[in-house]
Amino acid sequence: MLAYALARPLLFALDPETAHGLTIRALKLGLLPPAPADDPILATSFAGLALPNPIGLAAGFDKNAEVPDAMLRLGFGFVEAGTVTPLAQPGNPRPRMFRLVEDRAVINRLGFNNAGLDAYAARLRARAGRPGIVGGNVGANKDATDRIADYVRGIAAVRDHVGYITVNISSPNTPGLRALQSRDALAELVGRSMEARGAGGVPLFVKVAPDLTPEDVADIAEVCGAGGADGLIVSNTTITREGLRSRHAGETGGLSGAPLLARSTAVLRAFRQATPLPLIGVGGVASGADAYAKIRAGAGAVQLYTGLVYGGPGLVAKIKRELAALLRRDGFASVADAVGVDA
Ligand SMILES: Cc1cc2nc3c(=O)[nH]c(=O)nc-3n(C[C@H](O)[C@H](O)[C@H](O)COP(=O)(O)O)c2cc1C
């Protein structure tokens, strides 16, 4: 991607949120050539979803579902739009997103800034019938009195227009949200979410934090399994800070990118050992080897966001090429054959 090599210094000279806004506008113009067809070794089935490849776009890049088809065209095997909340909300004051260049990382405290459920659902409805799996990631407004009711509203509004639904209870930037990961609250959330999804509906996944104790992992695995959730997404950003060098290391918010890789993969492996539920591995993926490590630790599919900030749009094709080569090197005939071999 020569164009990105030229654009990157310009984008990095801008505040990261401004650069992101420009990227979304460029994608809306549809300037991208379609990616070539995927290597057949990458085709896989995840929780009943037929994916051309297991590399997905993580939530947060396309919060308002403005560019899911452009991101599919870039070569992602699936795209997750959101997090959306029932009502539009501005999020936290700027600046609230920071590049940690020396650490290949980002810290964000955006706080679910988004244009609300009506606009989001209308965009997804408008793409009905187009190929490609787009997931809807739903959350709760900051000042909701009944947070679970916000998830229920989101699920009801998107369920007929998405390939899957993600219930995001792991953003560190909405105070108290992650308390929904605790046993009793989670049981109620999963119960009401599954009811809103309805029998025979699209798969419903729960997205969790990487900052969990072994007891938390056991509880979440048990409650989600018992409640009928179709899978877990492991993980969101971390509130921990270890070994960072960048001057922005002290900013409040969720840390993503390279420093999250080992922690999120370890939590993923712990979930693999705790539950047979399908797992999506997310956190710090920037190469085929990173994606392969997630798969071997138990992920049936993988997602990324921060890697794109540093690697640009050409990263998706590079990761897929490297992953296919690693599978062949180790004698696997498919992605599914490699899932969990290290767990
Ligand atoms: C700027 C930014 C915004 C994000 N917004 C969301 C969000 O709205 N909902 C969500 O579930 N995850 C969100 N995430 C988390 C990512 O989906 C992902 O779980 C996390 O960044 C780890 O993956 P990565 O290291 O590949 O970025 C966001 C991440 C970043 C960097």
Over the stretch 158-180, which tens digit does the pLDDT of each residue have? 999 999 999 999 999 998 899 89
Domain membership of residue 332 (yes or no) is yes
Give 17-56 pLDDT, tens digit per residue. Answer: 999 999 999 899 987 778 889 999 999 999 999 999 999 9
Task: Tell me the torsion sign for CA atoms 273, 193, 255, 179.
Answer: negative
Check 170, 171, 193, 287 and give the catalytic one: 171
% of the chain beyond a pLDDT of 90: 92
Domain membership of residue 95 (yes or no) is yes
User: Would you say 330 and 296 are in contact if contact means Cβ atoms under 8 Å apart?
Assistant: no
Q: What is the CATH number of the domain that holds 250?
A: 3.20.20.70
Asked if the model's pLDDT at residue 303 lies above 60, the reply is yes
Domain membership of residue 108 (yes or no) is yes
256 among known catalytic residues: no
pLDDT of res. 309: 95
pLDDT of res. 2: 59
How far, in Å, from the CA of 59 to the mean position of ligand 1? 5
What is the position in ligand 1's atom list of the atom closest to the CA of 168?
11
Instruction: Please compute the mean of the pLDDT values over residues 180-209 and round it to a whole number.
Output: 96
Substitution candidate for ligand 1 out of 237, 280, 290, 315 with most atoms within 8 A of CB: 237
Domain membership of residue 342 (yes or no) is no
Give 67-90 pLDDT, tens digit per residue. Answer: 999 999 999 999 999 999 999 999
% of the chain beyond a pLDDT of 70: 99
CA dist 5 and 304 (Å) reads: 20
The protein residue whose alpha carbon is closest to atom 15 in ligand 1 is: 236
pLDDT of res. 1: 56
Ordered DSSP codes for 68-132 = HHHHHHTT-SEEEEEEE-SS-B--SPSP-EEEEGGGTEEEE---S-B--HHHHHHHHHHTTT-SS
How far, in Å, from the CA of 108 to the mean position of ligand 1? 8
Domain count, the chain: 1
Domain membership of residue 343 (yes or no) is no
The whole-chain average pLDDT of the chain stands at 96
Range of the domain at 89: 2-337
CA dist 78 and 105 (Å) reads: 23
The protein residue whose alpha carbon is closest to atom 30 in ligand 1 is: 60
User: Would you say 253 and 107 are in contact if contact means Cβ atoms under 8 Å apart?
Assistant: yes
pLDDT band at 217 (very low <50, low <70, confident <90, very high): very high
pLDDT of res. 106: 98
pLDDT of res. 181: 82
Three-state DSSP state, 283 = coil
pLDDT of res. 3: 75
